[in-house]
Amino acid sequence: MAASVSSTQPQTLKRTVLGARRASNIFWASVLTLGGLGFALAGASSYLKTNLLPFSDPTQLVFIPQGIAMGFYGVAALGLATYLWVVIGLDVGGGYNSFDKSSNRLSIVRSGFWGENRRIEIEHPLEDVTAVRVAIKEGLNPRRTLYLRIKGRSDIPLTRVGQPIPLADLENQGAELARFLQVPLEGL
């Protein structure tokens, strides 16, 4: 009589990916909004000769060149802040990576900008996965990224964009995923 072996391994592995809704983006969008508003109001105060700022008196500024330069910087900062708030609101880059052995599918889902490409989805059979690759680039602009190698496709990034994740976390995530998919881990 043959003994039956029960598998205690999970059949699904799902990881969320942090998008644009990070504390650093919210901080910089807030700073740009407040700074841009201050510069724009200073430029407008200089033009109107009416003080629009409670903590300063920019009516003493000569509109050309000082007031117009402050107004330009204010409008530029507010434009950039608006872009950041929209990206944060849409959570661009946020999503998840899902690997399901029971359905033999992998799904990589990310949020994009509005329109028909708002939701980016990549699906493949698990047997097309050839390896999990770790890419580490140190220096002035460090990058620590986990990639999925799939037959017939370029490598697909699995980790968030922006602030690099700690090296130990990257290695652990890569090793866990390679073990789960039973593929080699490259790049270490």
DSSP secondary structure, 36-77, as one string: HHHHHHHHHHHHHTS---TT--GGGS-IIIIIHHHHHHHHHH
Q: How many domains does the chain have?
A: 2
- Model's pTM, two decimal places? 0.78
Could you tell me if 98 and 181 lie in one domain?
Answer: yes
User: Range of 136's domain?
Assistant: 93-186
Q: Is the pLDDT of residue 52 over 70?
A: yes
In a domain, 35, yes or no: yes
Q: What integer best gives the mean pLDDT of the chain?
A: 87
In a domain, 46, yes or no: yes
In a domain, 143, yes or no: yes
Could you report the per-residue pLDDT of 74-93, keeping only the tens digit for each? 999 999 999 999 999 998 88
Domain-ending residue, one of 90, 112, 139: 90
Give me the mean pLDDT over the 165-170 stretch: 85
CA distance 90 to 84: 10
Residue 141 pLDDT grade (very low, low, confident, very high; cuts 50, 70, 90): confident
DSSP 102: T
144: domain CATH number is 2.30.29
Could you tell me if 97 and 84 lie in one domain?
Answer: no
Between 89-93, 137-141, 148-152, 154-158, the lowest mean confidence (pLDDT) is in: 137-141
Residue 8 pLDDT grade (very low, low, confident, very high; cuts 50, 70, 90): low
Domain-ending residue, one of 70, 90, 110: 90
pLDDT, position 5: 44
Backbone angles phi, psi at 171, to 5 degrees: -65, -40
CA distance 162 to 94: 12
The candidate with the shortest Cα–Cα distance to 44, out of 76, 66, 21, is: 66
SS3 state at 169: helix
Domain-ending residue, one of 69, 90, 111: 90
CA distance 157 to 146: 6
Alpha carbon 24 to chain centroid distance?
11
Q: Is the pLDDT of residue 3 over 60?
A: no
Q: What CA dihedral angle connects 88, 153, 12 and 22, to 10 degrees?
A: -20
pLDDT, position 2: 43
> What residues does 150 pair with on adjacent strands?
129
Q: Is the pLDDT of residue 4 over 80?
A: no
Could you tell me if 77 and 102 lie in one domain?
Answer: no
Residue type, 40: A
Could you tell me if 123 and 53 lie in one domain?
Answer: no
Peptide bond into 125 cis (omega under 30): no
User: How many Cβ atoms from other residues are within 10 Å of residue 32's Cβ?
Assistant: 20
Q: Is the pLDDT of residue 181 over 60?
A: yes
Could you tell me if 177 and 110 lie in one domain?
Answer: yes
> Which tokens is 112 given?
């994009």
SS3 state at 185: strand
CA distance 85 to 80: 9
In a domain, 16, yes or no: no
Residue 115 pLDDT grade (very low, low, confident, very high; cuts 50, 70, 90): low
